[in-house]
Amino acid sequence: MTNLEFTPLVFGISAVAGCLGALTGLGGGVVVTPALTLLLGVDIRYAIGASLVSVIATSSGAAAAYVREGYSNIRIGMFLEIATTLGALLGAFLATRTPTAILSLIFGLVLLHAAWQSSRGRSHDEKSKKPDRLAERYRLNGSYPSAEGPREYQVDHVKTGFSLMFGAGTLSGLLGIGSGALKVIAMDQAMHVPFKVSTTTSNFMIGVTAAASAGIYLSRGYIEPGLAMPVMLGVLAGSLVGARQLIDTKVRVLRWIFAAVVGVMAIEMIVTGVKGNL
Partner 1 sequence: MAAPNYQWDDQRLEVIISVLLRTGVLISAAVVFLGGICFLSKHGNEQPEYHVFHATADTYRSVWGVIHAVGPSDCQAIIQVGLLLLILTPIARVAFSLVGFALERDRIYVELTSVVLVILIYSLAAPH
Q: How far is the CB of 208 from partner 1 (least distance, A)?
A: 5
* 117 vs 199 by CB, closer to partner 1: 199
Pairing state between β 142-146 and 149-153: antiparallel
Select from 260, 243, 266 the least CA-distant residue to 119. 260
- Closest CB 35 distance from partner 1, rounded Å: 13
Closer residue to partner 1 in complex, CB, 22/53: 53
Nearest distance from C-beta of residue 120 to partner 1, angstroms: 31
For partner 1, give the closer residue by CB, 112 or 237: 237
Helix axes 29-40, 248-277, angle to 10 degrees: 50
Name which of 46 and 258 has its Cβ closer to partner 1.
46
Distance between CA 26 and CA 206 in Å, rounded? 12
Alpha helices (H) in the chain, listed in sequence order: 3-24, 29-40, 44-69, 74-95, 100-119, 133-137, 158-175, 180-184, 195-219, 225-244, 248-277
210 vs 40, 86, 114, 213, CA distance in Å?
24, 11, 19, 6
Q: Identify which of residues 86 and 271 has a Cβ nearer to partner 1 in the complex.
A: 86
**Minimum distance, C-beta of residue 40 to partner 1, in the bound complex (Å):** 8
Per DSSP, the residues of 29-73 read HHHHHHHHHHHH---HHHHHHHHHHHHHHHHHHHHHHHHHHT---
Least distance (Å) from partner 1 to the CB of residue 77? 9
User: Cβ 20 to partner 1, closest distance in Å?
Assistant: 20
3-state secondary structure of 93: helix
Minimum distance of partner 1 from residue 220's CB (angstroms): 7
Greatest distance between any 2 Cα atoms in the chain:
62
3 vs 245, beta carbon nearer partner 1: 3
Query: Which residue number, 20 or 44, has a Cβ lying nearer to partner 1?
Result: 44
The answer to whether 190 and 122 have CB atoms below 8 angstroms apart is no
